[in-house]
Amino acid sequence: MTYQLLLVDDEVHAIEGVKSDLDTEKLGISQLYTAYNMKQAKAVLEREKIDIMLCDIEMPQGSGLELLSWVRRHQPGVITIFLTSHADFKYAKEAMQLGSLDYLLKPVEASELEHVIAKAKEMIEHNSELSRNKQSHQLWMKHREIVVERFWLDIINQKLPSHPASIQKQAEQLQLPIIDSASYFPILISVQKWNRPLSRRDENIMEYALRNSAEEIILGTDLNGLFFFLDRGNMLGIFTIEQMEAEDQERLIEACSHYIAMCNQYFYCDVSCYFGKLVAPQHMAEMVSLIRERDRNNVAFYNEVFPFVDRLDASRSIELPDLNVWLSLLKTGSKDGIVEEVEAFIQQLVEKQAIDANILHQFHQDLMQALYSYLNMSGIQARQLYGDEASRALSERAGRSVDDLLAWVHHALDKAVNQTKAIEESETVIETVRRFIIKNIDQDLSRDMIANHVFLNPDYLSRILKRKTGYTVSDYVQNERINLAKELLAQTNIPISSIAASVGHTNFSHFAKIFKKHTGLGPTEYRNQFEKK
């Protein structure tokens, strides 16, 4: 039996090196194809009957992992071996081995490469023995996984009528072994938090590894089922179980606990598992909705296994403390005092198990409203103060978990305290205003623009400036323009029209009039007196 092999790598010298190392005659390779990106590889796979694919993981036009995902859906009979220098994560080798035959790091010895290819040949031969009709078997395997996933997603998303006859008919049309009288057990696995910063691409790799690890650890308990992602960070497992005995649930809890520990150690994330209960296919959508709601309302606990609870307590309103009393501590600059009060209050709710997503959202909104009101009374424009990207992101996440809420509290109070202190030291505000005016002296500066820069209400800024300098905002800006123009006229030979433009006056006649009003001399006369000296 001979084999066809595909080499995929964006580096020409890497492909040539592997080609020179391989003894194709000894390995029984009848044809060796090459591709330098994902698009070329797909073309070869669609055109030729490839048995073994030797693939790099890092390629500019599509990663090896993306290619493998495509292969699993469209060419499941292809045995994939990764040969790459990609070793950024310690778990990469283990993760890739879950979906491919092996993961080899460059440079690799020819003997090791030949050994792995020999293993691939053995796997191909073994797979051939399992099926009398290889072509039919490959066609089924090509579509099975994606078809089963889509079938369950259509049920969960209620695209398929929740009627036993409709579900059974659809299952039979798709040649799926789904029986309307059978019971199925769902488990929701929720990624609660990544403990390392990840790009979207790295997150995709991690989700791939999480899924394969779940199949190995949880399905490895002799369960018949599958895992698939509902959306970003939420993976669902559905298992065929005739009856869920107490010992079966304990065994499943133990497997999920082991899976969570593996996720913490190797995949750097916090996850929790939520059990449903045995239901017929027509009730799966309702059951998944219930366990997803439980995940949404879990705002305090990480890395837990939650058995199914028939009925959750309805979300309750809570009596919030007088937030204005807390915020009055800002007058003394005591941010830590407020944080301690918030943490103690939230911890009390957690201990009583009296907190959910709605209560957390209510607390966040009430605290934010009180904080905005306090800042407004201090003349601070909260909308401007918290208008930066970091503040918006923290506020959006504050309702997700207790940790996210406390992160927002620290951030929001830090900014409030710092800005309040800056206003109390009005000289600091005026100096900030002056620097902003000088930096933007050639612009059309308005009172609102300047006030926004120091996060103050325009009227409040006017009062501070008038009290400290005796000038209105517009007069203060005009003085700075004239002072700079005087300096440039006295010390440079820059044309007067250019000086006028550089201090924000595009109309020369108007500039000359304003300048004379302030100095008693026209711009030319003012310059001449320095030239005489």
Beta-strand relationship, 269-275 and 184-194:
antiparallel
CA 467, 470, 475: angle at the middle one, nearest 5? Answer: 125
Take residue 468 and report the two structure tokens written for it: 């400290």
Tell me the average pLDDT across 62-85: 88
Take residue 264 and report the two structure tokens written for it: 């913490």
Per-residue model confidence (pLDDT) at position 118 = 92
Take residue 476 and report the two structure tokens written for it: 């203060």
288 touches 156 (CB < 8 A): yes
Residue 117's pLDDT band, with cuts at 50, 70 and 90, is: very high
3-state secondary structure of 142: helix
Q: Is the pLDDT assigned to residue 207 strictly greater than 80?
A: yes
Q: What residues pair up with 80 in beta bridges, in sequence order?
A: 53
Q: Is the pLDDT assigned to residue 137 strictly greater than 60?
A: no
Per-residue model confidence (pLDDT) at position 63 = 84
Per-residue model confidence (pLDDT) at position 283 = 93
Which is more confident, 255 or 182? 255
Tell me the average pLDDT across 403-411: 92
Q: Is the pLDDT assigned to residue 197 strictly greater than 80?
A: yes
Q: What percent of the chain has pLDDT over 70?
A: 89
Take residue 229 and report the two structure tokens written for it: 């992602």
- Nearest in space to 284 (alpha carbons), one of 335, 363, 225, 343: 225
Per-residue model confidence (pLDDT) at position 210 = 95
Q: How far apart are CA 290 and CA 302, in angstroms?
A: 19
Helix 357-377 and helix 284-297: axis angle, to 10°?
Answer: 40
**DSSP string across 187-234:** EEEEEEEESS---HHHHHHHHHHHHHHHHHHTGGGT-EEEEEEEETTE
Which is more confident, 43 or 424? 43
3-state secondary structure of 30: strand
Q: Is the pLDDT assigned to residue 184 strictly greater than 60?
A: yes
Q: Is the pLDDT assigned to residue 90 strictly greater than 60?
A: no
Per-residue model confidence (pLDDT) at position 316 = 58
Take residue 439 and report the two structure tokens written for it: 């930096």
pLDDT digits (tens, 9 = 90+) for 147-162: 888 999 999 999 998 8
Take residue 254 and report the two structure tokens written for it: 């133990």
Q: Is the pLDDT assigned to residue 179 strictly greater than 80?
A: no
Per-residue model confidence (pLDDT) at position 459 = 86
pTM metric for this prediction: 0.55
Per-residue model confidence (pLDDT) at position 220 = 79
φ/ψ bin of 333: left (φ > 0), alpha (ψ from -120 to 50), beta (otherwise): left
Q: How far apart are CA 204 and CA 227, in angstroms?
A: 15
Tell me the average pLDDT across 79-106: 72
Identify the weakest region by mean pLDDT among 73-77, 178-182, 212-216. Answer: 178-182
Q: How far apart are CA 315 and CA 408, in angstroms?
A: 23
Q: Is the pLDDT assigned to residue 426 strictly greater than 80?
A: no
Identify the weakest region by mean pLDDT among 158-162, 230-234, 465-469. Answer: 465-469
Identify the weakest region by mean pLDDT among 1-15, 217-231, 283-297, 368-382. Answer: 368-382
Q: How far apart are CA 193 and CA 195, in angstroms?
A: 6
CA 445, 447, 451: angle at the middle one, nearest 5? Answer: 110
Q: Collect all residues with Cβ–Cβ distance below 8 Å to 498 and sequence separation of at least 6.
A: none
Q: Is the pLDDT assigned to residue 519 strictly greater than 60?
A: yes
Q: Please count the residues of the chain.
A: 533
Which is more confident, 92 or 502? 502
The CA distances from residue 91 to 181, 218, 233, 266, 496, in Å, are 41, 19, 19, 6, 68
Q: What percent of the chain has pLDDT over 90?
A: 35
Q: Is the pLDDT assigned to residue 531 strictly greater than 60?
A: yes
Tell me the average pLDDT across 258-270: 95
Residue 1's pLDDT band, with cuts at 50, 70 and 90, is: confident
Per-residue model confidence (pLDDT) at position 139 = 58
**Average model confidence (pLDDT) for the chain?**
85
